[in-house]
Amino acid sequence: MMKKYWLTCDPGLEMVLESELAQIEGCSWEPFVPFRAKLWVAAPAVEPLLRLRSVHHVAELLHRVPLEDDTLESVTAALQGLSVPQMETARSFRVSSSRWGNHAYGSMDVMREAGAVLWRRYGTRVDLHQFDLEIRVDIHQNEMMVGIQHTPKSLAYRIKYKFIHQTPLKSTAAFGLLTLAELQPGETILDPFCGGGTLPIEGALAFGDRFRWVGSDLFMDNVEGARLNAVENGVEELIEFVQADARDLRATFGQVDVIVTDPPYGLKSGKNVGMATLYEKFIASAGEVLRLGGRLVILSPRKAVMLKGIQRAGCFRVRLEKLVETGPIKGTLFVLVRMGGEG
């Protein structure tokens, strides 16, 4: 029997989630209007959805109920009599909620009220931290969605970090960037600003030894930290980490097929100086080591300097440009293809 779920992903990377869903037999989906990064999904079971690599959260829909008005009383009334069979066997539960629209209450009120209604009905103990079951009660304008949250924490945090980098990329975004690079078996994929190693580690976890993974960074402590992180995730055999300057990749690397990366943003540190030169030199240097037809996938909030670098290098065709939000970063994603001598 088909069940209905709502899934979230990084805003701007919905097409990556859709390409993953397309591989699940019997699965269909539609946008969760008016939200970005949210899809309604019909699927025969939850397990394949929990294995998706571009997903943050998976919730299973139990009830979708219209609300009478914008008061908390209308939420309480709508909750009365709704059955949540999973509550019968759970030892403890909690309610979480998100709310969108104008109401005379906040999401905290919904959590408290729904918790009380469900506790009165089933007698199951509330535990906000060590819960067996998480019930979602989301309010979207004049509609209430009640469901089971299958992801107690976001699936974006699957990589284990022994070494904590200052600005780690989310693993969902790393998977998205790698997917958009359209990797071909046997290709060498380099992240020349690898930091704590998220991109090659996610690549090795998701795609394994069908590819050659390389990560490099200017600073040796990052290179060593990324190696530690690879060990922590059991993929150290699959990744080569080296120290290298991304402004002069030719000094360290021969030809590579694909470069996938998120260069420094210079926002956290407040440093603006040097970013334009860094990006310009890096993009030109990427053009030198990439084979013809090779791809450069780059995500950064520095759109203007990326565009300038692309223009100056003069050897890339823009295959895709997309606004992507991942964590606190609102950036532009470019998928570039290394063109031949014809320009």
Ligand X SMILES: C[S@@+](CC[C@H](N)C(=O)[O-])C[C@H]1O[C@@H](n2cnc3c(N)ncnc32)[C@H](O)[C@@H]1O
Member of 8, 54, 74, 222 binding ligand X (CB under 6 A): 222
Q: What's the CA dihedral at 253, 254, 260, 262 to 10 degrees?
A: 30
Using rule CB under 6 A, residue 332 touches ligand X: no
Taken in order 51, 55, 56, 62, the sign of the CA dihedral is negative
Using rule CB under 6 A, residue 203 touches ligand X: no
- CA–CA separation, 183 vs 175, rounded Å? 12
Taken in order 223, 228, 232, 235, the sign of the CA dihedral is positive
Using rule CB under 6 A, residue 215 touches ligand X: no
Using rule CB under 6 A, residue 199 touches ligand X: yes
Give the per-residue SS3 of 106-118.
CHHHHHHHHHHHH
Q: How many residues bind ligand X (CB under 6 A)?
A: 22
Using rule CB under 6 A, residue 309 touches ligand X: no
**Comparison of 193 and 211: residue with beta carbon closer to ligand X:** 193
Using rule CB under 6 A, residue 331 touches ligand X: no
The answer to whether 249 touches 278, Cβ cutoff 8 Å, is no
The answer to whether 48 touches 132, Cβ cutoff 8 Å, is no
Q: DSSP H helical segments within the chain, as ranges?
A: 14-21, 47-50, 72-79, 107-122, 171-180, 198-207, 220-232, 275-289, 303-313
* End-to-end alpha carbon distance in the chain: 54
Least separation in angstroms between residue 177's CB and ligand X is 10
Using rule CB under 6 A, residue 326 touches ligand X: no
Site for ligand X in 127-166 (CB under 6 A): 165
Which of the ranges 68-76, 134-142, 186-194, 269-277 carries the binding residues for ligand X, by CB under 6 A?
A: 186-194
Using rule CB under 6 A, residue 217 touches ligand X: yes
**Comparison of 147 and 263: residue with beta carbon closer to ligand X:** 263
Member of 127, 245, 288, 325 binding ligand X (CB under 6 A): 245
Which of the ranges 82-90, 96-104, 261-269, 318-326 carries the binding residues for ligand X, by CB under 6 A?
A: 261-269
DSSP 170: P
The answer to whether 221 touches 194, Cβ cutoff 8 Å, is no
Using rule CB under 6 A, residue 246 touches ligand X: yes
Residue 84, classed as helix, strand or coil, is coil
- One-letter amino acid identity for 168? P
The answer to whether 58 touches 49, Cβ cutoff 8 Å, is yes
Structural tokens at position 327: 């964590």
Member of 12, 115, 147, 192 binding ligand X (CB under 6 A): 192
Using rule CB under 6 A, residue 233 touches ligand X: no
Using rule CB under 6 A, residue 219 touches ligand X: yes
Using rule CB under 6 A, residue 167 touches ligand X: yes
**Comparison of 6 and 279: residue with beta carbon closer to ligand X:** 279
- CA–CA separation, 308 vs 280, rounded Å? 7
Site for ligand X in 40-99 (CB under 6 A): none
**Comparison of 36 and 247: residue with beta carbon closer to ligand X:** 247
Member of 12, 168, 200, 287 binding ligand X (CB under 6 A): 168
Residues that bind ligand X (CB under 6 A): 165, 167-169, 192-196, 198-199, 217-219, 222, 245-247, 262-264, 278
